[in-house]
């Protein structure tokens, strides 16, 4: 949907009501102030003749508007419409969030999607009114704005953490786009002063979410599956090692606090994006409830409002979890996964990469020879780029590729699609726990089709019911 396709009256009503359901779905630009805001901005509602609506923050900035310092568009939850789309635009936006454009440029982004740079640009302009380079630049600027406002990270470090190639480029871009320098923003924001740490930078950022959000359900799910030596989790926090450091996620009243300690802040954009996917922060609980709440799952939906489908910090890691967890208990899978991490002896207790796992001897850990073969075949295909589980490949193609791996069947592929590929309609075919829960609740098999397009959330409701 392009900016011109937004329904003006509907958007204006949402802005007048400060309706939080629309936060992140569009942005309101005011022609008299040249500022763009979130729909929930507490400022006085502007006259309808002075507003324009844009589908993406980059579109508003390209039209010459700068972000509001009061409602802070950088804190908007992601648009669930983009988050769930498996087409080229949806995947490209997720890769941009993951830092792919900053690391490899737009040409590298297009290559990851197996299309030409020209075709990618054409798709973006048709959907958003701006190209992928403008979207990536806006992502960098908004992350920088959040870092300048919420942390004491030195301005030099902010520039590189946000993906800029130099401090000079950072200063020039911010002045050109926003009308002020990074130092001027920090001075007026009233946040922490510059910190000059000698070790890994320790930062705290706020990750906003849509309400309702089933905090207990998400954190309990992650805690029950935490891999020894890699993760530490309970119902109130989740911590793990990441390349170059650690992260901790802690629920707060209206957001998730992300504490990051890393020695390379250039990885920050990727960490933030993956934490959002891990906790499913950009889901649309109202849309999910509207469908599932009218089916045989209604009692479960009412009992667990805001239930989320926990994602994955890394696609390959999740795939290995799924393979190891075939036909054994969650506790048993944790034990085996902990042994794999320990045997791989990855730096800083990181989960092994596909290449690293290929070089690791997995015998003697309690895995069957068949399971080891499956893991090796899986790692080889990801290392060769034949399967991409981190956003670059069409989900249906990724599932097809997974099913070609010896030892991976429909249940495993569907579970990977549900969590790593973020397919909201994935259904773990043949799952015994789901069958038992449905039988206990008297739900016939033909009701599964009634839960489309949210069958992944239906599965979580059944798994978490007792």
Q: Which of 194, 259, 286, 431 is catalytic?
A: 431
Within a 13 Å sphere around the CA of 78, how many CA atoms are in the beta-carbon half?
24
Q: What is the pTM of this model?
A: 0.93
Phi, psi of 233 (to 5 degrees): -150, 150
Cα–Cα distance for residue pair 3/126, rounded to 1 Å: 10
Q: What is the rounded distance in angstroms from the CA atom of residue 327 to the CA atom of residue 325?
A: 6
Q: Can you tell me the distance from the alpha carbon of 275 to that of 260, in angstroms, rounded to the nearest whole number?
A: 11
**Distance between first and last Cα of the chain:** 41
Assess whether 68 carries a catalytic annotation: no
Res 199: pLDDT: 52
Which pLDDT score is estimated for 79? Answer: 83
What is d(CA 104, CA 112) in angstroms, rounded to the nearest whole number?
10
Q: Do 127 and 89 contact (CB within 8 A), yes or no?
A: yes
Name 90's bridge partners: none
pLDDT confidence of residue 200: 59
Predicted local confidence at residue 4, as pLDDT: 39
Q: What is the mean pLDDT of each run of 10 residues along the chain (466 residues)?
A: 66 95 94 97 96 96 95 90 77 93 94 95 94 96 96 94 94 93 87 54 90 96 97 97 95 96 92 96 95 97 97 97 96 97 82 96 97 98 96 93 98 97 94 96 96 97 91
Q: Of 37, 68, 71, 275, which one is the catalytic site residue?
A: 37
* Residue 202: per-residue pLDDT: 81
The pLDDT value given to residue 2: 37
Contact 67, 142 (CB under 8 A): yes
Residue 233, strand partner residues: 238
Please say if 390 is a catalytic residue. Answer: no
Answer whether 420's CB lies under 8 Å from 311's CB. Answer: yes
pLDDT at position 419 = 97
Q: Give CA–CA dist 116/119, Å, rounded.
A: 5
Q: What strands, in cross-sheet order, belong to the sheet with 27-30?
A: 51-54, 27-30, 35-37, 66-67
**What pLDDT shows up at residue 87?**
86
Residue 431 to residue 433: CA distance in whole angstroms? 6
């Amino acid at each position: 949907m392009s900016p011109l396709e937004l329904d003006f009256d509907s958007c204006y009503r949402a802005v007048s009501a400060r309706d939080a359901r629309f936060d992140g779905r569009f942005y309101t630009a005011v022609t008299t102030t040249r500022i763009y805001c979130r729909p929930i901005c507490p400022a006085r509602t502007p006259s309808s003749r002075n507003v324009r609506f844009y589908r993406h923050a980059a579109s508003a900035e390209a039209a010459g508007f700068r972000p509001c310092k009061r409602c802070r568009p950088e804190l908007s939850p992601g648009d669930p419409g983009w988050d769930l789309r498996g087409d080229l635009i949806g995947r490209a936006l997720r890769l941009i969030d993951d830092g792919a454009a900053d690391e490899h440029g737009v040409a590298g982004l297009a290559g990851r999607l197996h299309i030409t740079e020209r075709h990618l640009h054409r798709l973006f302009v048709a959907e958003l009114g701006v190209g992928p380079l403008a979207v990536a630049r806006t992502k960098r600027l908004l992350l920088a704005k959040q870092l300048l406002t919420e942390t004491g990270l030195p301005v030099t470090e902010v520039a590189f953490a946000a993906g800029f190639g130099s401090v000079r480029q950072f200063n020039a871009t911010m002045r050109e786009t926003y009308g002020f320098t990074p130092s001027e923003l920090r001075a007026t924001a009233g946040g922490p002063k510059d910190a000059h740490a000698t070790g890994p930078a320790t930062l705290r950022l706020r990750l906003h979410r849509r309400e309702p959000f089933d905090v207990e359900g998400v954190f309990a799910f992650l805690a029950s599956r935490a891999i020894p030596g890699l993760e530490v989790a309970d119902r109130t926090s989740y911590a793990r090692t990441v390349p170059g450091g650690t992260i901790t996620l802690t629920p707060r009243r209206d957001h998730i606090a992300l504490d990051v300690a890393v020695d390379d802040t250039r990885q920050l954009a990727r960490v933030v994006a993956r934490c959002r996917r891990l906790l499913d922060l950009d889901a649309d609980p109202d849309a999910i409830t509207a469908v599932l709440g009218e089916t045989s799952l209604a009692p479960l939906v009412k009992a667990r409002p805001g239930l989320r489908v926990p994602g994955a910090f890394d696609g390959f890691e999740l795939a290995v979890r799924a393979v190891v967890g075939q036909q054994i208990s969650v506790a048993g899978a944790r034990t085996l996964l902990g042994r794999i991490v320990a045997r791989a002896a990855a730096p800083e207790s990181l989960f092994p990469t596909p290449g690293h796992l290929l070089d690791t001897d997995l015998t003697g850990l309690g895995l069957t020879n068949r399971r080891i073969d499956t893991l090796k075949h899986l790692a080889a295909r990801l290392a060769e780029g034949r399967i991409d589980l981190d956003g670059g490949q069409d989900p249906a193609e990724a599932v097809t590729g997974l099913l070609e791996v010896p030892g991976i069947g429909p249940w495993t592929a569907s579970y990977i699609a549900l969590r790593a590929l973020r397919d909201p309609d994935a259904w773990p075919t043949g799952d015994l726990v789901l069958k038992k829960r449905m039988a206990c609740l008297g739900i016939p098999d033909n009701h599964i089709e009634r839960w489309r397009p949210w069958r992944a959330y239906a599965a979580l409701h059944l798994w978490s019911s007792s």
